[in-house]
Amino acid sequence: LDSNNENQIEELGSANLFIVKDGIVKTPKLSGSILDGVTRDSVCKIASELLKLKVFEIGISGLTLT
């Protein structure tokens, strides 16, 4: 959970979070506690440029996962 108000899911320890549904990839938006790492950047680029999926960087709460 995010460090500000603990209601947004950000990263999972040493892993990035990506939700793929109906041709859309959702990942937490960059903030003070999410690193703009190589893996995250690569997955977003491959999804959008090669796979032609829409990629959205959004706030993800537990409700987003249902």
Q: Report d(CA 41, CA 46) in Å as an integer.
A: 9
Q: Report d(CA 46, CA 38) in Å as an integer.
A: 12
Provide mean pLDDT across the span 3-7: 63
Both tokens assigned to 24? 């859309």
Provide mean pLDDT across the span 1-5: 59
pLDDT digits (tens, 9 = 90+) for 12-32: 666 788 989 999 999 988 876
pTM for this one?
0.73
pLDDT digits (tens, 9 = 90+) for 40-57: 899 999 999 999 999 999
The single-letter DSSP state of residue 51 is S
The predicted pLDDT at position 42 comes to 92
